[in-house]
Amino acid sequence: MFSNSSVKICFSAGESSGDSHAANLYLELKKHHSKLNAIGMGGAKMSEAGISLCYDSSQIAVIGVIEVVKQYFEIRRALKKMQDLLLNERPDLLICVDYKEFNYQLAKFAKKNGIKVLFYVSPQVWAWRKNRVKKYGEVIDMMAVIFPFETPYYEAENVPVRYVGHPSVDKVVPKFTKSEALKNFALNPDTPIVGLVAGSRPNEIKRLLPVMLEAAQKLKNDFPTIQFILPQADSLPDSLIHNYLNRTNVNVTVIKNQPYDVMQCCNAIMTCSGTATLEIALLGIPMVICYRLNYLTYFLGRMLIKTRFIGLPNIIFGEVVVRELIQNDATAENLATEIKRLLTDSEATQNCRADLEIVREKLGLGGGIQNMAMLVQEMIKI
């Protein structure tokens, strides 16, 4: 338990999921220490939670080599702002949330200047560049991992590590019952409902939403009464989404700030790779994963990535639970074909739901944010 003295924590989150994790952690910590002060880099959720931001990370929420190069100077500017913040404010703890390359550099700077570092959400060292475990160990005081199979990689190199559990297990809870959500969104439960989860980053939307909409058109031809719904991430401007929706004659219902209520309404979902796949899995909704990158980024990634899968449900299960359509395979035709199979093949759908339940069981009982809050208290020792 914290004492009544003032405590200052700096958060660094560069993407939508990290923004959410940091905000929830801060709110949990505030339950135990009302005088806690928090500063840093993040997005809308962190700001709403009461964290004072020196930089809006939505400006640098990019993925891929080419995309990072294009944003290089803005990323460097963000890093300099965070470095200055650390020197000027001298927080009791820096919590780096995912966003691995940026946060590695920031952690390195903090460690050099005597600031304690907790890294939350491990880089996927089990998938690529395992030699980086030692390098991360040199710049952090603790690595908090969210998957149980991650701890051995750090323990083998004597890097302090704690398995805290995946925050999504507790977070993925719809606000309404399914029947209430269907009514709220004016959806007909008697006809197929397909979700379009194209991502939380602008470059994901640009690469994936057009092909998803093309697939939706093909599905509309086969299922005239089919309904499409899109949960819009709060990190995305309306103009970006509607720029693509205005180019299609397929009607898509767009819902903000209620992703889990949207997902639970769906019979099947087309989704980008990443945390969204796990959230959909936790709700037990059959899906197809769509993944596209700049070709140079993809080529370099294939040389480095050692895992068989890109989708978290498949990685956790160890076998194919949901189909992955990667790069050239991520076509409208393939997306539509897989969604059609999930809508018409009841046996395949039942098997998928059963496997997703096993994925959920493998993630444990939850308590991730509470475990993280306890770890923070241990590290600050007040």
Q: How far apart are CA 272 and CA 260, in angstroms?
A: 15
Question: Taking a C-beta distance cutoff of 8 angstroms, is the pair 119, 100 a contact?
Answer: no
CB contact at 8 A, 360 and 284: yes
Confidence band of 1 (pLDDT split at 50, 70, 90): very low
Opening angle at CA 303, ends 300 and 307, nearest 5: 115
Average pLDDT over residues 80-101: 96
Residue type, 199: G
Domains of the chain, start order: 7-165+367-380 (3.40.50.2000), 178-362 (3.40.50.2000)
Q: What's the token pair of residue 233?
A: 């991430």
The answer to whether the pTM exceeds 0.75 is yes
For residue 80, count other CB atoms closer than 10 A to its CB: 12
Average pLDDT over residues 215-235: 95
**DSSP-assigned letters across all residues of 343-370:** HH-HHHHHHHHHHHHHHHHHT-S--HHH
For the chain, the distance separating the N- and C-terminal CA atoms, rounded to the nearest angstrom, is 7
Q: Are strands 323-326 and 117-120 parallel, antiparallel or unpaired?
A: unpaired
Among residues of the chain, what percentage have pLDDT more than 90? 71
Q: pLDDT tens digits, residue range 264-291?
A: 999 999 999 888 999 999 999 999 999 8
Region 367-373: mean pLDDT is 94
Structure tokens at 276: 């969204």
pLDDT of residue 4: 43
| Higher-confidence position of 61 and 248 | 248
Task: Specify the higher pLDDT residue, 310 or 98.
Answer: 98
Over residues 61-81, mean pLDDT? 75
> pLDDT tier at 61 (50, 70, 90 boundaries)?
low
Please state the rounded mean pLDDT for residues 304-328. 84
pLDDT for position 236: 87
pLDDT at 233: 86
Written as one string, the DSSP assignment of 312-347 is HHHHHHSS-SSEEEEGGG--HHHHHHHHHHHHH-HH
Position 2 confidence tier, pLDDT thresholds 50, 70, 90: very low
> Across residues 316-326, what is the average pLDDT?
93
Question: What H or E segment, with its residue span, contains residue 20?
Answer: helix 16-30
Q: Using CA of residue 130, residue 153, residue 151, residue 306, what is the dihedral sign? A: positive
- What are φ and ψ of residue 324, in 5° steps? -110, 125
Percent of the chain with pLDDT over 70: 90
In sequence order, the 6+-apart residues with CB closer than 8 A to the CB of 351 are none
Give the pLDDT confidence of 159-201 residue by residue, as tens digits: 999 999 998 899 899 999 999 999 999 999 999 999 999 988 8
Q: Residue holding tokens 């923070």?
A: 376
**Which residue's structure tokens are 């020792």?**
381
Look at residue 252 and tell me whether its pLDDT is greater than 80: yes
DSSP conformational letter for 89: H
Give the Cα separation of 278 and 291 in Å (integer).
15
Predicted local confidence at residue 81, as pLDDT: 96
Q: Are strands 287-291 and 268-272 parallel, antiparallel or unpaired?
A: parallel
What band does 59 get if pLDDT is binned at 50, 70 and 90? Answer: confident
Q: Which two three-digit tokens encode residue 235? A: 């990190």
Tokens matching residue 124: 């996927």
Note the pLDDT of residue 17. Answer: 84
User: What average pLDDT does this structure show over 14-29?
Assistant: 92
In three-state form (DSSP H/G/I as H, E/B as E, the rest C), the secondary structure along 190-243 is CCCEEEEECCCCHHHHHHHHHHHHHHHHHHHHHCCCCEEEEEECCCCCHHHHHH
**118 or 131: which leads in pLDDT:** 118
In the predicted structure, residue 128 carries a pLDDT above the cut 60:
no
pLDDT band at 132 (very low <50, low <70, confident <90, very high): confident
pLDDT at 297 over 60: no
Write down the mean pLDDT value for the chain.
90
